[in-house]
Amino acid sequence: MMSHGPDIPSLVQSMKAMKDQFEGIDAIYLEGEAIARVHLSNINIDDWGISATVTPIPTLGLDSDLDGEVEPLDSELDLDSEMEPWDIAASWEIFSFSSKYWDAAYVAWTIYFDHDLVSGVLEKSAKYSAEERLVRYAEIMDYIQEYEMKEYAKGVAE
């Protein structure tokens, strides 16, 4: 009989081999229409899936609250505020990953770790920080989609 589910032992082994490269580095977290700069900690990998603590980093032009009403950081004063961490989790059935991203289908969050993408998002967020939130969101999402298309094209060409 053929197995149709993910090869969980291989996924666990692959993720554990990469775990250290994700802890504490700048990343971009997307959920719904919220975009935040974050660090991950307490990454746990087991046969069920993955979990981690997400700590937002106050960043001009990015979102400051992902738990309901989204408030963009619009001033330097906001950058001193404490932001509450939250936990994420995804089972292997809905989770995909590489060295550059994590994605959880159906729970609608994606985390990007690619240094060039993170730098580009931070540049866009600063450039458009005075714009309305939806303008900022559209500019950043356009950048991310263009970046992903370039990365995909590179992979196909190799």
Q: What is the pLDDT of residues 82-101, one digit of tens each?
A: 678 999 999 999 999 999 99
Strand partners, 27: 38
Summarised one tens digit per residue, pLDDT across range 25-47 is: 999 999 988 899 999 999 999 99
- For residue 142, CA distances in Å to 46, 81, 102, 120, 129 come to 35, 28, 19, 11, 16
Task: Give the residue carrying structure tokens 């994605």.
Answer: 103
- Give CA–CA dist 154/147, Å, rounded: 11
> Does residue 73 have a pLDDT over 60?
no
pLDDT digits (tens, 9 = 90+) for 3-22: 567 799 999 999 999 999 99
Per-residue pLDDT, 39: 94
Enumerate the β-bridge partners of residue 91: 49
User: Can you point out the beta strands (E) in 69-122?
Assistant: 86-91, 95-97, 101-104, 109-112
